[in-house]
Homo-oligomer: A and B are copies of this chain.
Amino acid sequence: MEPVYRLTISCPDRVGIVARVGDFFAAHGGWIVQANHYSDPATGRFFMRHCVRLDSLPFDLQTLKEKFTPIAEEFDMDWQVRDSRVKKKLILMASRESHCLADLLHRWHSNELSCDIPCVISNHDTLRDMVEWHGIPFFHVPVDSADKAEHFARVNAIVEEHKADAIVLARYMQIIPPELCDRYHGQVINIHHSFLPSFVGAKPYHQAAERGVKLIGATCHYVTRELDAGPIIDQDVIRISHNDTVDDMVRLGKDVEKMVLARGVRSHLEDRVLLHGNKTIVF
């Protein structure tokens, strides 16, 4: 796709928002190639995402921001505008399971995911070779189960050092401490191996086997203080039968996990996910 500015907006709904934004771009020759709107009837809040061809506008990102600010203030908008050519920096975190990490790395390596991956952090050294083959630095940051504070202090230092825009927990099996949940609100993407809100917490496939469900699933969500309860970005399921053991579920579930995580990460990278309380708008 041609380079675009991506404008995302959330504001109280009222008459004239679409017209005002449309006028703004039209007045400067802006060519809108994608436009999405959503008006929440329950909360009266309005959400919008526009992609405008960069080469159709006569100014740069900074000028665009300056010129748009009065409109944003008039309508009391939460808003962002990004240049689609500027890649987000994504730090991946993993543990010992390789399927989600390998999948994301391959998508990045084959140019399917447009982002930079400054490094991978893991509490185990298992996946170092795979990561380094891709030319990506690998940080092994062990966890002392008696005191995890040091682990998370080092993780936070690495994230800050690399100025990451988002952190993807690709089956990283540690619970993120509350202060990091808050600091990176809406920036930490997790994949949970169940169809939430079913089977929160540890060993969801064992819980699923115990309950005798006929479908298993995976959920990609933003991490918040409450475990596995943050805003859901995407979910999917796969059919199982009585024939499937917990080991089969783990194997079948991997495919759902990696697909759902990849879709969620892609939506995040393309600025398609807007937060609305504990829910998401995914354009």
Binding site for B on A (CB under 8 A): 15-16, 18-23, 25-27, 29-35, 37-42, 56, 98-99, 102-103, 106, 109-110, 112, 133, 195-199, 211-215, 217, 231-237, 241-243, 245, 251, 254-255, 259, 262, 276, 278-282
Contacts and interface: CB of A to CB of B under 8 A. Distances in A.
Given A26-B18, A243-B38, A110 B133 contact: no
Nearest to A283: B242
A275 to B, nearest CB: 10
Contacts of A245: 41-42
A236 B282 CA distance: 23
B22 A18 contact: yes
Contacts of A112: 251, 254
A195 B214 CA distance: 10
**What 9 pairs across the A-B complex have the smallest Cβ distances?**
A212-B279, A19-B22, A19-B26, A22-B22, A16-B26, A18-B22, A35-B37, A214-B235, A242-B281
Mostly, the A contact residues are mixed
A242 B197 contact: no
Contacts of A279: 212, 242
A110 B106 contact: no
A215 B236 contact: yes
Given A22-B22, A34-B39, A102-B102, 8 more contacts: A15-B25, A15-B30, A38-B242, A42-B245, A106-B106, A196-B198, A211-B278, A255-B259
Nearest to A234: B214
B282 A242 contact: yes
Contact of A29 (B15, B21, B110): B15
A278 B209 CA distance: 11
A63 B279 CA distance: 40
Contacts of A106: 98-99, 102-103, 106
Contacts of A103: 106
A231 B212 contact: yes
Contact of A37 (B19, B32, B280): B32
A144 B283 CA distance: 47
Contacts of A25: 15, 18-19
A49 B182 CA distance: 39
A213 B235 contact: yes
A195 B196 contact: no
Contact of A237 (B39, B215, B231): B215
